[in-house]
Every structure is written in C-alpha cells, then in structure tokens.
Chain A
Amino acid sequence: MDGAAENGPVPLYRDEAVVLRTQKLGEADRIVTLLTRRHGRVRAVAKGVRRTGSRFGARVEPFTQVDLQLHEGRSLDTVTQAETIAPYGERIASDYGRYTAGTAVLETAERLTAEEREPSLRLYLLVVAALRSLAEGEHTPTLVLDAFILRALAIAGYEPSLDGCARCGEPGPHRYFAVAAGGLVCAEHRPGGAATASPPAVALLNALLTGDWTVADVAADGTQREASGLVAAYLQWHIERGLRSLRLVER
C-alpha cells in the first residue's frame, strides 16, 4: 500500500472545507461529506463525534467551514484534526427560512460535484459566500439560494441564456423560457411547453446571476416566486434526479 512503508510518506493532508452533509455511522461516528478547497468533494469518517464529550463534534456539523487534517483511506478518509474557520451553522439554524434555503445550497453543491476528489475551487468559494450571506441575513434567503443555483450551474457549464435567444442568438428581450433549450428563446424558436417569463422576472434572474443586489433586493414577492420557479425547473432539468430539499424550502 502506498505510504505504508516504514519511513515512507504519511498519507495525511490538510485542507479547508465546508461540511455538506453528515450521516450516522455505527455507534458514535459520522460520515461527513465535505466540499474542500483543493480536493473537491471528499467523504470522510469523523470518529466519536456523536458523543457529548467529543473534541470536534460541533466542528463537523453541516454549514461549518473548517480547517481539517485528513488521513487518506482506501474508500473513506478519516478526520484527524478539525479547527473551525467559520461556524455558519448556528446562525443559519436559528432561522427556519435560512435553514431550509441553506440546506438546498448544500444539496445543490453536492449534486453538482459528480466526481469525488475533482477540485472545484470556484464552487467552493461560491458555497462559502452563499453561507456567509445566509448567516449574516443580508438578503432574503430564497434570493440567496436562487443566486447560488444560477451561478453554480454557470460554473458547471450550464449558464442559462438570459439575453439572446438560446437557439438562434437573436438579441432579446424574449418572453419564453425553455428549460431544455437552455434559457430564453424567441417566439420563432419557442418549443411546445415553454414557460412564459415576465420582464421583471427576467430582470431579476439577470440580477441574481450577475450579483446586482440593488435590483434583486427590491423585487416584488410575485416576481421572486416566478423567478424561483424558473430556477428550480432549470436546476431539476440539469441534475436529472430531483433535489429533495427544494420542496421543503420555506417561501
């Protein structure tokens, strides 16, 4: 086995990570799914964290940004040390709307990293930014979630076309949103079943994708709901299997 030889390199590595998900394992352990800064998505065992006296129990809870030392294993790594960088979890869980939106952020991030150990620095930074924004309550939680989904999809290569027609490129504004075509389409290339998108909703989607919060923060409730519906449909199309947490997001 690599690194097992005497005096050979110890298979330990250190990285920053956001905890995406935890699952119970055996009596007192947990498997934690991490999105790391340099190693992409990693699954690791955190031993004994469910005991009340655990040294790093609270540090490997979802939403926490941690500095970790991991021991490389055959299928799962093991967490050997953990230091908190930012405990976003506490402030997110203290508000139900933030919690449900935040969970959908984590599940989206997990689903968009198809392969384990494939580095995705941009997604990591985006997740951290979304969690920080949720924890600080800067914007409406659902807007943060929609902005995150749009930008995460853009990083994954699925940026929706929100200006020109997704089929022919004819400059907009266009009124029809076709999920399968990749965004807004002109009247001529409108496929059957394409949704209509109101001009304010299109403006909101653009603002969310580019980070123009002065526009996004003042969007009417109805516009926000319409945009959320389009974002959800677009996400579901690209990740195939539905996102479980999306249906429970408090709107």
Chain B
Amino acid sequence: MYEGAVQDLIDELGRLPGVGPKSAQRIAFYLLAADPVDVRRLVTALTEVKDKVRFCTVCGNVSEEDMCRVCRDPRRDLSVICVVEEPKDVVAIEKTREFRGRYHVLGGAISPIDGVGPDDLRIRELMARLADGDVTELILATDPNLEGEATATYLARLVKPLGLRVTRLASGLPVGGDLEYADEVTLGRAFEGRRAIDI
C-alpha cells in the first residue's frame, strides 16, 4: 500500500477494463515520472470526452453534436440502414469505404444468460426509423457469433411484416488464410455463400 494520492491513482486505474493491480501500479508510476504537460493533456482528454461526447439521437453512435457525422452527411444513402452492435463496429465498416448508407447502433446483442433482452437494446428506436418509409434495405451486421446471430434472427423476424429487403453480412474464409485451418462452421458457411465468378 502506498500513501494517499499514489494509492488512489492505482485504485482508480485498476478499475479500468483489462488493467490488473500490477499494470495499475506500473501506469501510476509512469504518470508520476512523466512530463506534467503530457499528464495535463491526458486529463483534458478525459474530461472532454465526458463533457462533449453524446450519443447521436438518430443512430446511437458516439457524437459531439445532436447527430453524428454520418447522419448529418447529406450524401449518405437514406434508403439503407446497417445495424451494428457497438460504435466501434461503425468505425470498422467505415474503414472499408464500401458502405454509403447510414447506421443504427443497438448497444449490444441479445444475451439472455447475461440478462440482456430485446428491450435493453435500441430496437424500438430502429423500428421508429423504419416506420418513416424511406428505408428499403436493412443490413444486419451484428457480430458473427452466437449472440449476434440470434439478434439478427430476432430482428429479421420483427421487421418481416414491413416488407423490406433484409440482408445479413456474409460469413466465410478470411482473406489471406489457409483453407485447412478453417473451422467446420465457417467453411460450411463459405460453401453456402459461394458465388459464381464472372469472367
């Protein structure tokens, strides 16, 4: 145990995800020895993120204004909505530069074992957006794991009466990998979703 301020810092750092007691101690002593200017920059970054960042009123993505950058952009295609679990998934898809529509961030996936049901996610907000009638396609881009698949199944069933085109991101072989190392489920999906080569 250290005295006052040092121990407080170690305790606070230790509450962060993935930071154990040893790492917390290491970071605390690094900060203690660091240039005060660097530490002040970190402090400003921390306070600003809490003061400025909100969630987009339309899609639920992180934003510094009422609407996020994507929702404000008039060049984006209003007829397509891509549903993702977390804001970091938006960033991952934006990096591909393949998608020109807008997003909807659910805030997680349906996971009954963790007590997360459909009412705990931003599904009602999604249904309200779809009711406007501008949207013709819904892309379900939840994680390709069990919870993500179940969430996609639930949403597909929920929006079926609206008569939209509902699509799910493809699953298959990772680019740059070896076929022999693929697991059965992934390889099976890759077969299911195979496509003709146009020459």
Contact = CB atoms under 8 A, between A and B. Distances in A.
The B contact surface, by secondary structure, is helix
Given A96-B157, A245-B113, A26 B18 contact: yes
Nearest to A21: B113
B2 interface: no
Interface stretch (A53-61, A182-190, A223-231): A53-61
Interface of B: 18, 110-115, 117, 145-146, 149-150, 153-154, 157, 174, 176-177, 181, 183-186
A89 interface: yes
Contacts of A106: 113
A58 B18 contact: no
B123 to A, nearest CB: 13
A96 B150 contact: yes
Contact of A96 (B111, B153, B183, B186): B153
A227 B195 CA distance: 48
15 contacts: A57-B186, A58-B185, A62-B113, A89-B146, A89-B149, A93-B149, A93-B150, A96-B157, A103-B112, A107-B112, A244-B113, A244-B114, A244-B115, A245-B115, A247-B117
B117 A248 contact: yes
In the complex, the 3 A-B pairs of residues with the closest C-beta atoms, listed nearest first? A245-B112, A58-B185, A248-B112
A95 B152 CA distance: 10
Nearest to A23: B114
Interface in A78-105: 84, 87, 89-90, 93-96, 99-100, 103-104
B144 to A, nearest CB: 8
Given A52-B174, A84-B185, A90 B113 contact: no
Interface in A21-38: 21, 26-27
A52 B176 CA distance: 11
A100 B181 CA distance: 31
B149 A53 contact: no
A107 B113 contact: yes
